[in-house]
Amino acid sequence: MEEYRKTHERLVQVFDREIVFIVGATRWGTAWVQQCLDAHPEICCKGEGHFTDSLFPLLAKAFDAYNAQSEVVGNRLQSSGLPGNAAGFTIDDVHYLMTTAIGLMLSRWVGAGEVRVIAEKTPEHIVALDKLIKSVPAMKVIHVYRDARDEAVAVWDFNQSLSQGAFQQKFPRFGDFAKVFADNWSQSITTTRGFDRDHRGRCCHVRAEGFQGEELQVLRPLLQFLGVDDGEAVIKNCADIAWEAVPLDVDPGAWKKKFDDENRQFYQRECGELLKLLGYEV
């Protein structure tokens, strides 16, 4: 029991700190932000935990299976005229165990380090923030976004170089992929904006295009959002380390070389309003 108490105390210390999740979508600059924040002396920022898209479904499946088996055992006891019943997990139990699992992982990342903020980067969390906040109610979110058109081109090029043929078979033409990506981009942006409306002050939106140039002023409001040192020297050091670790392929306007008239019209029709809301020229 002594080890249990020590572990519980360690988890309490973890959740007494600011817990932050970096979200976005493929190749939006989330890895750059993760490296940048991890270079800050007051922040521990790692990735990728894949809590919502991997851990949670696996745990839920195990709990459902256990509860189903418990019900069978309970019915068998009652049919035999024996007292008692097998206990199953409630939804509150599930959230508690998921919180514990997240805390254990975060505590291992931090170790004995004295930091004010613990952050994790899994882009896929962007479509499951409503589930994540049930396990970490005080969490904050850093949402990294980018022009949908440039992002479509970046993801297409990345998958073309990485795939062994499956991607090319699924999307033989750029236009086929671009239309699917437009829907994913819109869903991600809409979901995050909805989370921001429901949880005021918990979400910081950051444009990936702002990670360019010498001043990198986009980092100052981000660090202020986290409540850590936002001095010029700190910003420069964090950015330099991030650029060395992750050369970000942000090239604003690159989509104009790739999009044909059909792609242009499709994105203007399907993503135009969101692009304008985010400050992009349509």
Confidence of residue 83 (pLDDT cuts 50, 70, 90): low
Asked if residue 100 belongs to a domain, the reply is: yes
Q: Write the CATH number for 95.
A: 3.40.50.300
- Whether the CB-CB separation of 86 and 73 falls below 8 Å is answered with yes
Strands in 117-121's sheet, in edge-to-edge order, are 43-46, 117-121, 18-23, 140-145, 203-207
Asked if residue 168 belongs to a domain, the reply is: yes
In the prediction, which pLDDT does 164 show? 66
Asked if residue 136 belongs to a domain, the reply is: yes
C-alpha distances in Å from residue 254, one per residue of 37, 43, 147, 175, 246: 27, 33, 10, 15, 19
Confidence of residue 89 (pLDDT cuts 50, 70, 90): confident
* Rounded distance between C-alpha atoms, residue 21 and residue 89, angstroms: 27
Distance of CA 88 to the CA centre of its chain: 31
Radius of gyration of the chain (CA): 22
Mean pLDDT of 152-178: 86
Mean pLDDT is lowest, of 85-99, 140-154, 255-269, for 85-99
* Rounded distance between C-alpha atoms, residue 134 and residue 121, angstroms: 18
The DSSP result for 153-184, as a single string, is: HHHHHHHHHH-SSHHHHH-SSHHHHHHHHHHH
Tokens matching residue 247: 């050369």
Confidence of residue 282 (pLDDT cuts 50, 70, 90): confident
Confidence of residue 256 (pLDDT cuts 50, 70, 90): very high
Q: Angle formed by the axes of helices 2-15 and 91-110, to 10°?
A: 80
* Rounded distance between C-alpha atoms, residue 210 and residue 146, angstroms: 10
What percent of the chain stands above pLDDT 90? 57
E strands, the chain, in order: 18-23, 43-46, 117-121, 140-145, 203-207
Share the mean pLDDT of the chain: 88
* Rounded distance between C-alpha atoms, residue 26 and residue 235, angstroms: 25
Mean pLDDT of 39-44: 96
Give me the number of domains the chain comprises: 1
Asked if residue 216 belongs to a domain, the reply is: yes
Res 15 pLDDT > 60: yes
The domain of 184 spans: 2-277
* Rounded distance between C-alpha atoms, residue 131 and residue 30, angstroms: 20
- Whether the CB-CB separation of 40 and 238 falls below 8 Å is answered with yes
Res 77 pLDDT > 80: no
Asked if residue 282 belongs to a domain, the reply is: no
C-alpha distances in Å from residue 92, one per residue of 88, 96, 97, 134, 262: 12, 6, 9, 10, 49
- SS3 state of residue 250: coil
Tens digit of pLDDT for each residue in 182-206? 999 999 999 999 999 999 999 999 9
pTM of the model: 0.89
- SS3 state of residue 55: helix
Handedness of CA 232, 238, 244, 247 (dihedral sign): negative
Q: Angle formed by the axes of helices 56-79 and 91-110, to 10°?
A: 140
In the prediction, which pLDDT does 84 show? 54
